[in-house]
Structures are given as structure tokens and as C-alpha cells.
Amino acid sequence: MSKAFTKETDGDDDDDSPGLPPLPPGAKNYITPAGYRRLRQELMSLLDVERPKVVETVSWAAKNGDRSENGDYLYGKKRLREIDRRIRFLTRRLDIAEVADPSLHHGNHQVFFGATVTYANAAGDERTVTIKGIDEADNLAGEVSWISPIARALLKAREGDEVTLLTPAGTERIEILQVQYPAPVDAG
């Protein structure tokens, strides 16, 4: 049967990138200025560099005849769909982004978005995490999303406070040892 008469889904309706949790309903998409710049730079690179290159390749491959067996054409069309899906995702996320500069809290000892927090559990194991937006968090680098359980437990607490963290193994008491924020960048 011809592809023209079959309904195939390319996943175009699913614009959220795999691995990124959706925003809670009604929540703002908090992001640091550096994270916003990184996402915007990725969007501009896709629009100005990568997409035009792929369009050029697809256009060239389309001129080579039978498209059903043309690898450059088939791969190019697939790659274009991936790029367009990522462009839509980035555009939506940047449109609703709420840039929050953590350096505004420099010197503060209360946990807010953008804080780097060192805490210890009851066994005395210390861990340091930085609270970031869901589009920029990287667990391997010690960055957690502001909607993660650890961040929610830490938010609004102060150095020296003990908070309760809900884990799959049960509740755990953790003590906040240190709260840091990046220093303000001098505009001059």
C-alpha cells in the first residue's frame, strides 16, 4: 500500500524531549540566565546552521530520482522532523521561561532557586547540589531541578535547619550545612 494512504505518526505531537519532566500545571519555567542563554543559543544554531544544511542535503537528494531508496533523502527528512520538533520544544520553553538570577541572593543563607546547598544526612554523608531549572539540571554535575524532591525539601530552609526528605525508602532527616550563591557579575 502506498504511504500516501496510510496514517503514520512520526511523534510530531510529542514535542517534549525524552528525559525531561513536564512542568507542573500552572508552574513557572524557572531558569538561570546562563541556562536561558544556552537554550537560546541551541535554538539559534538549529535555525541558522543545522536546519539549512539539512534542507540543502534533502533538496539535493530529491533531485537524484527515486526517493524511496535514497538514503540521503530519507535520513534528511527524518533529521528535519527531529530538528523541527526540537525547535518547537525550545521555542515553547523559552516563551514561558522565567529567568531568575541567583546572584541576587548572594550572601543570603536561605535556600532559593539557584542556590548551591551542602547538606548531610543522619549518617553524616555530605552532598552538594545546585538548584536549577528543569531544562538545565544535570544530576551528574550535582545540579537538580527545582521540582525534584530534594530541592522541594531544601527550598526556603536556612543554614543549620533540619528538613525532612521523602525518599522511596522512607523519610530521611537532612541538615543544611552551607548555602551559597554566585557573586553578582559586574555590569561595568
Per CATH, the architecture of 29-99 is what?
Answer: Orthogonal Bundle (1.10)
Confidence of residue 63 (pLDDT cuts 50, 70, 90): confident
- The pLDDT of residue 167 is above 90: no
Average pLDDT estimate for 34-52: 95
Of all residues in the chain, the percent with pLDDT exceeding 90 is: 63
Task: Name the pTM for this structure.
Answer: 0.76
Per-chain mean pLDDT for the chain: 86
Residues 14-42 have pLDDT tens digits of 444 555 566 777 777 899 999 999 999 99
- The Cα–Cα gap between 70 and 3 comes to 16
Q: Where are the domains of the chain?
A: 29-99, 102-180
Residue 115, sorted as left (phi over 0), alpha (psi -120 to 50) or beta, turns out to be beta
Fold: same for 29-99 and 102-180: no
Sequential DSSP letters for 49-112:
IIHHHHHHHHHHHHTTS-GGG-HHHHHHHHHHHHHHHHHHHHHHHHHTEEE--GGGGTT--B--
The domain 102-180 is classified under which CATH number: 3.10.50.30, 3.40.50.300, 3.65.10.10, 3.40.640.10? Answer: 3.10.50.30
Closest by alpha carbon to 131, among 182, 184, 175? 182
Contact 136, 32 (CB under 8 A): yes
Helix (H, G, I), strand (E, B) or coil at 15: coil
Contact yes or no for 149/166 (Cβ under 8 A): yes
Q: Indicate if the alpha-carbon torsion angle 72, 88, 143, 36 is positive or negative.
A: positive
